């Protein structure tokens, strides 16, 4: 096996900072002497320039307190998004989505809730699942939406527990 | 040895003993990182929040099974990655998108890379990255996200994914090769000069 054949497989680990000094030192020495391996290493390094993360999303204020409260209230957290057409809230189509799916129920509950001013749509996604009785139109919509989501995710309740237990 | 008052192990103990405040502190400590991790898979803020919230709730539920062999956050990452993959699966994206196991496919051509042009803004490169990653089989996308975007060490990736370091290395090698192939297929204009 030539030096080059021995060195090349070590290059990714070298660039990732995963080699011990005993491994890295002969590699560096070889790179000084070998143009082909140097070029390969530069190419490998250049490709990494393409890995750039997009803009971050910050957790909303009060997220941790909300999650801790839910955890201690026994919430099992099995409601990851399941809506195959994308998230309606982020597309400003909450009303359509909710009413289309549960029009009759919405009308009934809104009548019961009675005489409430303008429609306020829930925009604070992370803090939407309060466990209080609906008193405003926004909260009614919110709870209906939650029911929808639960209905969509029903199948998940019978599947084996996901999460870390995959060993 | 007694854990320090504020380290993860101590907060885990306190949480198990019934302290909601301690669990809240753990969530506060890692929420930003989990938001960033989930964000690599979806652009929807609502989905990101749902995924992270579900992950923390699952973590709480199985906290008693956390055995401290790995760090708390790789354990948490593991739960989050699985939550993400489950969520993608439900949305119709299969974790391995072909009939063949990508691990068994022929080795890709060696990575002779090329850097993004200096004319591209950071956000433009990020958009290219996202599009290319989205086209890769899930196991390749995830290992690249953990290494290249989250900066995890091989051991941390191994702990998170429950695989050996050797598998991390070979999977990363294949994943980078596939990334380059897909990049050139989607954006031939970025081809080598
Ligand atoms: Zn050489």
pLDDT tens by residue, A32-70: 999 999 999 999 999 999 999 998 899 999 999 999 999
CA dist B15 → A69, A118, A121, A164 (Å) = 12, 42, 35, 18
Structure tokens at A147: 């029911």
Q: Is the pTM of this model over 0.80?
A: no
For residue A82, tell me if it sits in a domain. Answer: no
Interface contact A47-B48, CB threshold 8 A: no
Q: How confident is the model at residue A160 (pLDDT cuts 50, 70, 90)?
A: very low
For residue A20, tell me if it sits in a domain. Answer: yes
Residues 48-87 in A contacting B (C-alpha not used; CB under 8 Å)? 48-60, 63-72, 75-84, 86-87
B9-21: pLDDT as tens digits: 999 999 999 999 9
CA of A37 to the centre of ligand 1 (A): 4
For residue A125, tell me if it sits in a domain. Answer: no
- What is residue B94's predicted lDDT score, i.e. its pLDDT? 58
Interface contact B129-A52, CB threshold 8 A: yes
For residue A101, tell me if it sits in a domain. Answer: yes
CA–CA separation, B131 vs A14, rounded Å?
Answer: 27
CA–CA separation, B98 vs B110, rounded Å?
Answer: 22
ipTM of the shown complex:
0.85
Domain holding A39, by residue range, is 3-48
A107-137: pLDDT as tens digits: 444 445 544 444 433 333 333 333 333 334 4
Total domain count, chain A: 2
CA of A45 to the centre of ligand 1 (A): 16
Nearest to B140 by CA among A51, A15, A96, A161: A51
Rounded to a whole number of angstroms, the distance between the first and last alpha carbons of chain A is 38
For residue A133, tell me if it sits in a domain. Answer: no
Domains and CATH numbers, chain B: 1-99 (1.10.1740.10), 103-193 (1.10.10.10)
For residue A80, tell me if it sits in a domain. Answer: no
CA of A41 to the centre of ligand 1 (A): 10
CA–CA separation, A23 vs A29, rounded Å?
Answer: 11
């Amino acid at each position: 096996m030539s030096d080059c054949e021995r060195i090349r497989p070590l290059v990714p680990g070298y660039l990732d900072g995963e080699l011990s000094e005993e491994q890295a030192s002969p590699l560096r020495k070889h790179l000084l002497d070998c143009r082909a391996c140097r070029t390969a290493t530069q190419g490998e390094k250049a490709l990494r320039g393409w890995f750039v993360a997009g803009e971050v999303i910050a957790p909303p204020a009060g997220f941790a307190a909300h999650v801790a409260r839910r955890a201690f209230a026994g919430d099992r957290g099995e409601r990851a998004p399941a809506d195959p057409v994308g998230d309606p809230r982020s597309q400003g189509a909450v009303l359509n989505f909710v009413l289309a799916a549960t029009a009759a129920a919405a009308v009934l509950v809104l009548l019961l809730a009675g005489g409430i001013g303008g429609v306020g749509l829930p925009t604070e996604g992370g803090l939407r699942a309060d466990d209080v009785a609906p008193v405003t139109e926004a909260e009614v919509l919110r709870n209906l939406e939650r029911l929808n989501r639960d209905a969509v995710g029903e199948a998940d309740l019978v599947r084996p527990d996901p999460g870390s237990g995959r060993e | 040895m007694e854990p320090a008052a504020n380290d993860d192990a101590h907060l885990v103990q306190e949480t198990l003993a019934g302290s909601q405040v301690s669990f809240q502190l753990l969530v506060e400590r890692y929420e930003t990182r989990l938001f960033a991790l989930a964000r690599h898979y979806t652009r929807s803020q609502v989905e990101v929040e749902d995924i992270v919230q579900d992950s923390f709730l699952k973590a709480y539920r199985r906290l008693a099974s956390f055995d401290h062999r790995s760090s708390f956050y790789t354990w948490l990452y593991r739960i989050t990655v699985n939550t993400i993959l489950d969520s993608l699966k439900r949305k119709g994206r299969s974790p391995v998108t072909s009939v063949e196991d990508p691990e068994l496919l022929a080795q890709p051509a060696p990575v002779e890379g090329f850097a993004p042009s200096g004319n591209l803004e950071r956000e433009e490169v990020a958009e290219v990255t996202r599009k290319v990653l989205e086209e890769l089989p899930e196991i390749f996308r995830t290992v690249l996200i953990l290494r290249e975007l989250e900066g995890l060490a091989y051991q941390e990736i191994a702990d998170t994914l429950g695989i050996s370091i050797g598998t991390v290395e070979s999977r990363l090698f294949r994943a980078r090769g596939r990334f380059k192939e897909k990049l050139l297929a989607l954006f031939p204009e970025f081809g080598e000069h």
